[in-house]
Amino acid sequence: MASSSYSNSPCAACKFLRRKCMPDCIFAPYFPPEEPHKFANVHKIFGASNVSKLLNEVQPHQREDAVNSLAYEAEARIKDPVYGCVGAISVLQKQVLRLQKELDATNADLIRYSACNEIPNTTTHHGGRRMSDDGGGGGSSLAHSHGFYYPSNWNNDPCGNSNGYPRGDI
């Protein structure tokens, strides 16, 4: 089945170069006639003879990856003659850096919040002395507990000044 279609129509490379596609054509397995643009792009950017040389230099099992890489690079270079696929790499690297900073900042917030939450938990353990200083009632630490028993939803301002009432729009 494969051999019949192979013998009938030349590969995209040989068709493009207007030459006879021999059975041992190095392009044929990677540039099928159904994808004429693939070879046209690669040829335009790298040149057919360079591609042929390159394919001969790599192991047969690596040739498909090599061709896919060349096709990707060629397409990117045609779309963006200045930066080619480096443009995409650069954009993605910037994105990674931005997201890394965001992640670092979020982790720092997380550490800060969990540190703030730990202090009252340890001090109220034995009657909450620190809090009863301004509060008055000795055993009323629960009433003054700024919502420490609630998980994060209620504690968006754990260090702070607001008295722990949930904000309606959270």
Binding residues for Zn ion, rule CB under 5 A, total 6
Among the listed ranges 14-22, 77-85, 104-112, 137-145, the one in contact with Zn ion (CB under 5 A) is: 14-22
Give the range of 23-31, 33-41, 73-81, 118-126 binding Zn ion by CB under 5 A: 23-31
- Nearest distance in Å: CB 11, Zn ion: 3
H helices of the chain, where?
A: 2-8, 12-17, 36-46, 48-57, 63-79, 85-123, 129-135, 141-144
Stretch that binds Zn ion, among 10-18, 33-41, 66-74, 117-125 (CB under 5 A): 10-18
- By the 8 A CB rule, do 94 and 102 touch? no
Dihedral sign, CA of 17, 23, 24, 26?
positive
Asked if 42 is part of the footprint of Zn ion (rule: CB under 5 A), the reply reads no
**Rounded CA separation 62/47 (Å):** 19
> What's the token pair of residue 85?
């696929």
Residue 46 beta carbon to Zn ion: minimum distance, rounded to whole angstroms: 17
**28 lines the binding site for Zn ion (CB under 5 A):** yes
| Contact residues: Zn ion, CB under 5 A | 11, 14, 21, 25, 27-28
